[in-house]
């Protein structure tokens, strides 16, 4: 359903499922506490975690936990690649609702997209639980028309081009002393 930016943001704050463009593929998003809506809409298995997306790195640090050295390493990577198509999987703080990663609530994927509309929305809603817009196991939907057909109850932005790179973000997991690449995207990080 096509709505204005104001309606989309207010609906997101009220706990509704929304979609918005990012630098990679369009995001399906909800408040973190409402993440079960994403699993239901996508028919997604609970063993596939969601990503916590925000407008800037500072909005995400309370959701992860590490020691001073780890934070310095993470900040170096973030300074180099964010905003951008890189998701970091880090140890989760107690602020993360278990529904974000039901089978391993000790970690959380975090990302700051390099897209002005996504950043504008996230700056007003706060961090959101996100994933690509598609039925689980299917290719990511890349435009608003496809999203409207497949997810008619999800709110989309009217008159906005949704197409990003079409390639999901690189996913790098912190192992305690370096990075394990879980999914290679456009960004290649040094281990």
**Residue 161, pLDDT score:** 75
Does 162 score more than 80 pLDDT?
A: no
Question: What Å distances lie between residue 56 and 4, 52, 61, CA to CA?
Answer: 23, 11, 10
Q: Each residue of 100-152: pLDDT tens digit?
A: 999 999 999 999 999 999 999 999 999 999 999 999 999 999 888 899 999 99
Across residues 167-178, what is the average pLDDT?
93
Judge whether 190 lies within some domain. Answer: no
Provide the domain count of the chain: 1
Q: Which residues contact 171 (CB under 8 A, 6 or more apart)?
A: 87, 89, 109, 181, 182, 183, 185
Judge whether 188 lies within some domain. Answer: no
What CATH number has the domain bearing residue 92? 3.90.870.10
Judge whether 189 lies within some domain. Answer: no
Judge whether 191 lies within some domain. Answer: no
Provide the residue range defining the domain that includes 109: 2-183
The CB density around residue 62, as the number of other CB atoms within 10 Å, is: 12
**Residue 191, pLDDT score:** 59
Q: Each residue of 33-85: pLDDT tens digit?
A: 999 999 999 999 999 999 999 999 999 999 999 999 999 999 999 999 999 99
pTM of structure: 0.94
Collapsing DSSP to helix, strand or coil, 52 comes out as strand
Does 184 score more than 70 pLDDT?
A: yes
Does 159 score more than 80 pLDDT?
A: no
């Amino acid at each position: 359903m096509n709505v204005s930016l104001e309606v989309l943001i207010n609906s997101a704050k009220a706990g509704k499922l929304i979609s918005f463009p990012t630098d990679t593929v369009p995001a399906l998003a909800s408040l973190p506490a409402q993440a079960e809506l994403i699993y239901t809409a996508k028919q997604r298995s609970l063993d596939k975690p969601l990503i916590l997306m925000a407008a800037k790195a500072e909005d995400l640090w309370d959701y992860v936990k590490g020691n001073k050295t780890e934070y310095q390493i993470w900040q170096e990577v973030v300074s180099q690649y964010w905003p951008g198509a890189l998701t970091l999987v880090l140890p989760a703080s107690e602020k993360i609702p278990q529904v974000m990663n039901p089978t391993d609530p000790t970690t959380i994927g975090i990302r700051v997209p390099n897209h002005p509309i996504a950043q504008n929305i996230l700056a007003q809603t706060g961090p959101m639980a996100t994933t690509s817009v598609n039925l689980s196991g299917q290719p990511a939907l890349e435009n608003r028309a496809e999203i409207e057909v497949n997810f008619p109850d999800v709110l989309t932005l009217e008159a906005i081009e949704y197409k990003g790179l079409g390639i999901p973000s690189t996913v790098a997991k912190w192992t305690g002393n370096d990075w394990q690449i879980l999914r290679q995207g456009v960004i290649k990080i040094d281990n």
